[in-house]
């Protein structure tokens, strides 16, 4: 019998390890949110950069900090607390989905509410996307449960698919 998406989400919510990783990811996210929000505000409000340029700039700095902190703390077991170019590239690649969610949300919402309130909504949207990809794809343990994380190309290969 196949589990529904809701059943799988409920099972994950009861899993203490996933819960603690989500909390750690969220706390690191708070630090990165301050960086993202601060740099976005500075670039848009003081430097007068357009919303999208300011958002991409602030996101790039924040996502790099997120990779370092999550590799060393949240996903330390999976990453062996090592920073790797391939894993960073995979992390950034998957976080582009979060950037898209973030940018689309801030851009659309800014037409209805203040731009800084729109940015807060955007950060929430990207959290959901970013944690999902980080936990289930970028930092998932290698077969056997130990070792370095599986990067995207390996994940597809292990499942018998080409990237």
5 assigned to some structural domain: no
Q: What is the pLDDT of residues 130-143, one digit of tens each?
A: 888 887 887 877 66
Which pTM value belongs to this model?
0.64
Q: What average pLDDT does the structure give for the chain?
A: 81
Residue 119, pLDDT > 90, answer no
Catalogue the E-assigned strands of the chain.
none
How many Cα atoms sit within 13 Å of 63 on the Cβ side?
26
Are the CB atoms for 135 and 79 separated by under 8 Å? no
Average pLDDT for 12-32: 82
45 assigned to some structural domain: yes
Residue 125, pLDDT > 60, answer yes
Q: Which token pair is 45?
A: 């409000």
17 assigned to some structural domain: no
Say how many domains are in the chain. Answer: 1
Expressed as residue numbers, the domain containing 130 is: 22-158
Q: Which token pair is 161?
A: 């698919």
What's residue 161's pLDDT? 39
14 assigned to some structural domain: no
């Amino acid at each position: 019998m196949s589990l529904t998406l809701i059943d799988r989400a409920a099972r994950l919510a009861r899993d203490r390890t996933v819960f603690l990783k989500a909390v750690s990811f969220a706390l690191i996210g708070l630090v990165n949110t301050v960086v993202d929000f601060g740099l976005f505000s500075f670039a848009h409000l003081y430097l007068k950069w357009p919303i999208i340029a300011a958002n991409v700039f602030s996101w790039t700095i924040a996502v790099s900090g997120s990779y370092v902190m999550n590799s060393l703390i949240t996903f330390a077991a999976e990453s062996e607390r090592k920073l790797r170019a391939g894993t960073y590239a995979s992390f950034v690649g998957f976080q582009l989905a979060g950037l898209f969610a973030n940018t689309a949300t801030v851009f659309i919402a800014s037409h209805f509410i203040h731009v800084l309130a729109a940015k807060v909504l955007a950060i929430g949207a990207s959290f959901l996307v970013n944690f999902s990809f980080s936990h289930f794809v970028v930092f998932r343990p290698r077969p056997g449960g130990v070792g370095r994380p599986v990067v995207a190309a390996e994940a597809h290969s292990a499942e018998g698919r080409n990237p």
